[in-house]
């Protein structure tokens, strides 16, 4: 812990080893007590637009999008299935039907919650020292008095030229495949898209959860659809007709309608993402046509692909799980907490917005399943962190 001591300091004695001074003022004592008792966790001062729960363990986007609707639809359909269709099918067919349904349902819900609550691969913003260092390097190559056009840096990746863009919000050159999500106000590694159905970005760390979610949801939807159709067909046997069957089991009609309208989009999405996984592409790159040669350049294959479907699939879905880079639950360094006294009101307000803020479900057309990020980075937002010039040794 650093303390400030009140004594006459002889400027000529500055080269002597640093003493450990203490602040004797009352305010300072209270401040120090505060420092000891309520050291801030890093999620409380996180500059992006995310919200945190369970003391930083759970991270979601600012707006939960239509996640409640997604969960609701899945729960309602599956509960109706188990209550109204399973008893009949259990009696007339096999016990495996509810068993398989149960397993699929568990997979769907767990992978959905993991996609929504996991850090997608957010890159922490550059520290002021880093930003200054980068600015120095850029200014060396060309000066300007106004904000220059988007800065780019070219690197060679697997013998191919790739342009790295400078992010004005995060104050750094974005690594390859990283994109800035305007909804979450973060740079996300291997950015795929911001999914409103899931209420979070899909990026490097949670892509495998997202893929598991949509694949298992496809299976679940098709399974329920098939079982309900079988159920109604069995009831309608013997010339009694479909209307009779529907009258006996009206819930099945509800399930049929829900499944029928969602199966096409979900199957389509699963197919699309299977293609992306097999070619090691992201939705973002596919939409922009980064590697398909649309830009007119000759040698534009995907430099990240292993050119082998199996290797691509394995590396995307079964590769090592990268760690979260934002260290949500770590404690702020002590110098930060003394400097944040002035901005405590601001931070408290932000904390309330972060933790308590109610979601505003956006009304989205059913076909807008994916929201591509804005291609232009946002202008720099005020950084709540004070400059950290002293690194604790």
Partner 1 sequence: MAETHSLQDMRQQAAIAAKVFIQRDYTNGTVCQFQTKFPSELETRIDKQQFEETVRTLNNLYAEAEKLGGSSYLEGCLACLTAYTIFLCMETHYEKVLKKIAKFIQEQNDKIYAPRGLLLTDPIERGLRVVEVTIFEDRSLGR
The residues, ordered by sequence, that sit 6+ positions from 168 with a Cβ below 8 Å of its Cβ are: 147, 377, 378, 379, 380
Which of 250, 323, 357, 387: binder of partner 1 (CB under 8 A)? 323
**195: annotated active-site residue:** yes
> In the bound complex, what is the minimum distance in angstroms from residue 281's beta carbon to partner 1?
13
Instruction: Using alpha carbons, select from 40, 131, 92, 43 the residue that is nearest to residue 355.
Output: 43
The answer to whether 387 contacts partner 1 (rule: CB under 8 A) is: no
Between CA 354 and CA 92 the distance in angstroms is 52
For partner 1, the closer CB: 325 or 368: 325
Which of 47, 56, 176, 372: binder of partner 1 (CB under 8 A)? 176
* Three-state secondary-structure class, residue 285: helix
Instruction: Using alpha carbons, select from 385, 388, 380, 328 the residue that is nearest to residue 354.
Output: 328
Helices marked H in the chain: 26-37, 67-80, 86-92, 96-117, 128-141, 207-235, 242-248, 250-278, 283-288, 309-317, 334-339, 344-356
For partner 1, the closer CB: 252 or 302: 302
Choices 29-37, 172-180, 248-256, 378-386 (CB under 8 A): range interacting with partner 1: 172-180
> In the bound complex, what is the minimum distance in angstroms from residue 128's beta carbon to partner 1?
10
The answer to whether 162 contacts partner 1 (rule: CB under 8 A) is: yes
For partner 1, the closer CB: 59 or 258: 59
The answer to whether 143 contacts partner 1 (rule: CB under 8 A) is: no
> In the bound complex, what is the minimum distance in angstroms from residue 204's beta carbon to partner 1?
9
Q: Which strand ranges, in their side-by-side order, compose the sheet holding 172-173? A: 152-157, 160-167, 172-173
For partner 1, the closer CB: 186 or 252: 186
Between CA 56 and CA 123 the distance in angstroms is 16
Site string for partner 1, 297-316 (x = CB under 8 A): ------xx------x--xx-
Which of 190, 194, 231, 328: binder of partner 1 (CB under 8 A)? 190
Strands (E), 118-195: 122-123, 152-157, 160-167, 172-173, 179-181, 186-188, 193-195
Choices 46-54, 105-113, 144-152, 365-373 (CB under 8 A): range interacting with partner 1: 105-113
Question: 167 forms bridges with which residues in the sheet?
Answer: 172
For partner 1, the closer CB: 74 or 228: 74
For partner 1, the closer CB: 33 or 130: 130
Question: 152 forms bridges with which residues in the sheet?
Answer: 165
The answer to whether 54 contacts partner 1 (rule: CB under 8 A) is: no
- The catalytic residue among 187, 195, 201, 227 is 195
Which of 34, 41, 56, 107: binder of partner 1 (CB under 8 A)? 107
54-60 — which CB contacts under 8 Å span 24+ positions? 55/329, 56/328, 56/329, 57/328, 57/329, 58/117, 59/117, 59/118, 59/119, 59/200, 59/328, 60/116, 60/117, 60/199, 60/200
For partner 1, the closer CB: 114 or 274: 114
Q: Which two tokens stand for residue 361?
A: 């479900």
Between CA 71 and CA 112 the distance in angstroms is 8
Q: How many residues bind partner 1 (CB under 8 A)?
A: 55
* Catalytic residue annotation: 195
Residues near partner 1 (CB under 8 A) are: 4-6, 9, 11, 14-15, 18, 21, 106-107, 110-111, 114, 123-124, 126-127, 129-130, 133, 155-158, 162, 164, 172, 175-177, 189-190, 208-209, 212, 303-304, 311, 314-315, 317-323, 325-327, 389-391, 393
């Amino acid at each position: 812990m650093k303390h400030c001591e009140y004594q006459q300091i002889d400027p000529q004695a500055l080269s002597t080893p640093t003493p450990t001074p203490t602040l004797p003022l009352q305010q300072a004592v209270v401040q120090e007590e505060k420092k000891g008792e309520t050291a801030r966790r890093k999620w409380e001062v996180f500059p992006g637009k995310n919200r945190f729960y369970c003391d930083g363990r759970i991270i979601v986007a600012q707006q939960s999008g239509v996640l409640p609707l997604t969960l609701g639809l899945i729960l309602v359909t599956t509960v109706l299935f188990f209550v109204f269709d399973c008893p009949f099918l259990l009696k007339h067919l096999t016990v495996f039907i509810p068993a398989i349904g149960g397993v699929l349902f568990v997979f769907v819900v767990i992978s959905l919650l993991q996609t929504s609550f996991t850090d997608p691969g957010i890159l922490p913003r550059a520290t002021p020292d880093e930003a200054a260092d980068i600015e120095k390097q850029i200014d060396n190559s060309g000066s300007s008095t106004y904000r220059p056009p988007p800065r780019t840096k070219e690197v060679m990746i697997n013998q191919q030229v790739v342009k790295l863009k400078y992010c004005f919000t995060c104050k750094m050159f974005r690594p390859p495949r990283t994109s800035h999500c305007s909804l979450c106000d973060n740079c996300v590694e291997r950015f795929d898209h911001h999914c409103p159905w899931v209420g979070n970005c899909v990026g490097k760390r949670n892509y495998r959860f997202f893929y598991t979610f949509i694949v298992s949801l496809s299976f679940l939807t098709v399974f329920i659809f098939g079982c309900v159709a079988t159920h109604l067909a069995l009831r309608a046997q013997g010339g009694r007709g479909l209307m009779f069957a529907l009258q006996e089991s009206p819930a099945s009609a509800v399930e049929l309608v829900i499944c029928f309208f969602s199966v096409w989009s979900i199957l389509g999405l699963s197919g699309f993402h299977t293609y992306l996984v097999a070619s090691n592409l992201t939705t973002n790159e596919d939409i922009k046509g980064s590697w398909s040669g649309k830009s007119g350049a000759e040698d534009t294959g995907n430099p990240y692909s292993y050119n082998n479907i199996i290797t691509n699939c394995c590396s995307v879905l079964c590769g090592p799980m990268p760690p979260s880079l934002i260290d949500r639950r770590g404690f702020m360094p002590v110098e930060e907490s003394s400097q944040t006294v002035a901005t405590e009101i601001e931070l408290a307000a932000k904390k309330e917005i972060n933790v308590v803020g109610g979601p505003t479900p956006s009304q989205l057309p059913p076909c807008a399943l994916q929201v591509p990020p804005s291609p232009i980075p946002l202008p720099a937002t005020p950084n709540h962190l004070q400059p950290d010039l002293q690194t604790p040794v």
